[in-house]
Amino acid sequence: MKSIRIFLLIALLSTITLVNFIAALHGYRASMEEAERLFDRQVAGTALLLAAIPIDQTAPQVVEENDLQAFQVWSADGQLLMRSDNAPATPIGDAQEGFSEQNFSGFRWRVYSSPSANGRSIRVAERVDLRFRLADEVVLQSVMPILIGLPVAGLLIWLVIGHGLASLKKLADELRHKRAEDLAPLTLAAPPEELLPLVRSTNALLERLQASFDRERRFSADAAHELRTPIAAIQVHADNLATQLQNSAVVAPGSLQQLQDSIARMAHLVEQMLNLFRMTPEHYPARFESIDLHRLARDVIAELYPAFARREQEIELQGNTAYIDGDQFALVLLLQNLLNNACKYTPQGGRIAVDVQRQGDAVVLQVQDSGPGIPQEERERVFERFYRVGGDRHESRVPGCGLGLSIVHHIAELHHAQVELGPSSLRDAQAPGLAVAVRFPVQKSVERGIKHERVADENLVS
């Protein structure tokens, strides 16, 4: 069943048609019985009229008659006194009073025999097929309005069912327009009794989901927050131990460096977990303002430049001024994650390119690198939390926690932007590279950006 409305329409019309058919059949049978009685009385009346007509007994008279009836008048001694032109010269029926059915002249006839007071025998016949034809016409005229009324009834039923299902449509519309992160109860006003169980069950499900997500967020955020202090303490002790060994001229064991690296990785993981849950669109208190994305990218590159310099990587910024409506803290975090990923996965001496361009009704931020890239079949999954291509360590042997692109995706959702992954223009035969493009929609932010530029120019002139 694809449509409740169509199912109800077909079911109701079928029921109405069946009831009308049964009623019409019963009416047809009753009408035919009544018509039979009327026709029989008409034939008997004709016989009475013939009995009252004086007839010359010298020769049989032939009277022109229509095709509906035929008659014969016989004397007491069996002599034919008068007949209709469509009646045979031989007796039709018997002399006993009453009705019978006979065949003559190629038709089936209803014959009425009646003896008169003067000893004559009157026999009047009427064609059976004409009787049924007249009865059918009467019944058809009574049934035709019912048949014509079925489409009208169907239209009325369609409208009534549509009105009755309006509450269900409102419920479906409310569910359809709910955002993925919106788990608030349904607010359907005065739902009918039939929908109350569905609304209550859906609200209960949404409440359980909200509680489950809240527990997950609280646990992850609290765990990450509580881990900061012991990790910082461990890091301090490890640094103190390394300093003491260095001052005492004792060669530090290789495990100490591994310990420091593991502590740094754990601290990065905790920080990324905090950023991930902080950037959840439904919980982050964003403060949108007009931001020059090109200038912001330049500032973040300058902040992270020492990391690129240590790896002897070449980084360039292309594009021009492009304003968007955005939250500065979130956009800085987005740029930091994209650039840190590019720095980690681009080999020593590789290239990284950042481009900010206005394209139609969008501002596109693109970060490209000459690293190993991401296979086509893996590009959808890298936005999942803690997912890394190739497992815990990438082919590049770079440690990570698998949260960077998840944070980028959350921040993009916060700004109603789209994140696209593709091949890099910096690729070569050994490294296909990766291009991450974040497409921000431009609406009123462009007008504010233009006004901002005009004010800045006026200030420079003055």
Q: Which CATH number fits domain 289-461: 3.30.565.10, 3.40.50.2300, 3.40.50.720, 3.50.50.60?
A: 3.30.565.10
Which CATH number is associated with domain 4-158? 3.30.450
Residue 342: both structure tokens together: 């590019």
The contacts of residue 335 (CB under 8 Å, 6+ apart) are 296, 297, 300, 365
Query: How remote is the C-alpha of 308 from its chain's centroid?
Result: 49
Q: Supply the DSSP symbol for 3.
A: -
> Rounded CA gap, 358 and 363, in Å?
4
The contacts of residue 452 (CB under 8 Å, 6+ apart) are 290, 292, 323
Q: Answer left, alpha or beta for residue 78, where phi above 0 means left and psi between -120 and 50 means alpha.
A: left
> Rounded CA gap, 353 and 349, in Å?
13
**Direct distance between the N- and C-terminal alpha carbons of the chain, in angstroms, rounded to an integer:** 74
Residue 418, SS3 per DSSP: strand
DSSP lists the bridge partners of residue 437 as 366, 420
**Start-end ranges of CATH 3.30.565.10 in the chain?**
289-461
CB 356 within 8 A of CB 364: yes
Q: Supply the DSSP symbol for 185.
A: P
> Rounded CA gap, 295 and 301, in Å?
10
Q: Supply the DSSP symbol for 349.
A: T
What's at 103, amino acid-wise?
N
CB 108 within 8 A of CB 127: yes
Q: Which of 206, 160, 178, 144 is nearest to 20 (CA)?
A: 144
Q: Cβ atoms within 10 A of the Cβ of 243, count?
A: 11
User: Model pTM?
Assistant: 0.48
> Rounded CA gap, 30 and 40, in Å?
15
- pLDDT value at position 22? 80
**Start-end ranges of CATH 3.30.450 in the chain?**
4-158
**Start-end ranges of CATH 1.10.287 in the chain?**
196-276
The contacts of residue 137 (CB under 8 Å, 6+ apart) are none
Burial class from Cβ neighbours inside 10 Å (0-12, 13-18, 19+) for residue 382 reads buried
Q: What are the pLDDT tens digits along the chain (462 aa)?
A: 567 777 777 888 888 878 877 877 777 777 777 778 888 888 888 888 888 887 766 667 778 777 778 888 888 777 888 888 888 888 887 777 888 888 888 888 888 888 876 778 888 888 888 777 776 776 677 677 777 777 888 788 878 877 777 777 777 777 777 766 667 777 777 777 777 788 888 888 888 887 877 777 677 667 666 777 787 788 787 888 778 877 776 676 777 777 877 777 777 666 766 666 666 665 566 688 899 999 999 999 999 999 999 999 999 999 999 999 988 888 998 999 899 888 988 888 899 999 999 988 899 999 999 888 888 778 778 877 776 765 544 455 555 667 778 888 888 888 889 999 988 888 776 778 889 999 999 865 444 444 444 444 444 443
> Rounded CA gap, 86 and 65, in Å?
7
> Rounded CA gap, 435 and 425, in Å?
8
The contacts of residue 26 (CB under 8 Å, 6+ apart) are none
CB 354 within 8 A of CB 297: yes
> Rounded CA gap, 105 and 89, in Å?
11
What is the DSSP secondary-structure string of 61-100? EEE---SSEEEEEE-TTS-EEEEETTS-SS--S-SSSEEE
> Rounded CA gap, 16 and 407, in Å?
61
CB 373 within 8 A of CB 432: yes
The contacts of residue 385 (CB under 8 Å, 6+ apart) are 276, 402, 403, 406
Q: Which CATH number fits domain 196-276: 3.30.410, 1.10.287, 1.10.472, 1.10.4190?
A: 1.10.287
What's at 208, amino acid-wise?
R
- pLDDT value at position 275? 65
> Rounded CA gap, 226 and 406, in Å?
22
